[in-house]
């Protein structure tokens, strides 16, 4: 999703939801988040699991310094010590090696994923160890640019939604999805806004 699409989507949401309009007046429009498709994008998502965005960015930079471009073959050629020194946990090294091997042996065909429906992408990627629904949804948002994907399991999104909607408690995933159902077909743009709101709202 580029900046023009994000702006168009959020303007639509602001006209539809006064709380989005109020939040947008406070924090403005978020920047695009664009990741590569295929193994590099999936590696970035594995890297980002359960850590802050800034920590993930630092690790991505160190990985790029030791292998650029980061192909599945290049990743598998790196030893565990080098990957651990770059900041990947032992578990994430194993997950990423599994994804790299799946691409190389043809079990995972990144070019085919782009043509699948949202549910099919989730089913395909969630079949890989270390890739769950959240990771598959992040891939669709950042690597495939799908503008109606809402990763409701994300804690920052839940907290931002709590603040934006002035809720007492952080909504559970099913509650979060219900709260933004009227944002369709711009729920992915709304997710980008909620991350931005989480960081920028007082």
Alpha-carbon gap, residue 194 to 183, rounded angstroms? 12
Cis peptide before 180 (omega within 30 of 0): no
Alpha-carbon gap, residue 170 to 161, rounded angstroms? 8
Alpha-carbon gap, residue 192 to 202, rounded angstroms? 18
| Distances 5 to 17, 19, 32 between C-alpha atoms, Å | 18, 20, 9
The reply to whether 154 belongs to the active site is yes
Active-site residue list: 154
């Amino acid at each position: 999703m580029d900046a023009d699409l994000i702006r168009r989507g959020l303007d639509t949401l602001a006209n539809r939801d006064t709380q989005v309009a109020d939040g947008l007046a406070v924090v403005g429009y978020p920047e695009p988040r664009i990741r590569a498709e295929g193994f590099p994008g999936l590696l970035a998502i594995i890297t980002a699991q359960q850590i802050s965005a800034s920590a993930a960015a630092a690790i991505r930079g160190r990985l790029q310094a030791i292998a650029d471009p980061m192909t599945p073959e290049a990743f598998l050629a790196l030893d565990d010590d080098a990957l651990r020194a770059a900041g990947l946990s032992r578990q994430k090294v194993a997950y990423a090696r599994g994804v790299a091997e799946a691409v190389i042996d043809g079990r995972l065909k990144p070019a085919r994923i782009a043509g699948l429906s949202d549910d099919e992408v989730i089913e395909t990627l969630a079949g890989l160890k270390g890739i769950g629904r959240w990771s598959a949804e992040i891939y669709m948002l950042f690597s495939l640019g799908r503008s109606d994907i809402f990763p409701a399991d994300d804690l920052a999104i839940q907290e931002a939604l709590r603040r934006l909607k002035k809720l007492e408690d952080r909504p559970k995933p099913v509650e979060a999805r219900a709260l933004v159902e009227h944002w369709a077909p711009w729920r992915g743009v709304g997710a980008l806004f909620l991350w931005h709101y989480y960081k920028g709202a007082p």
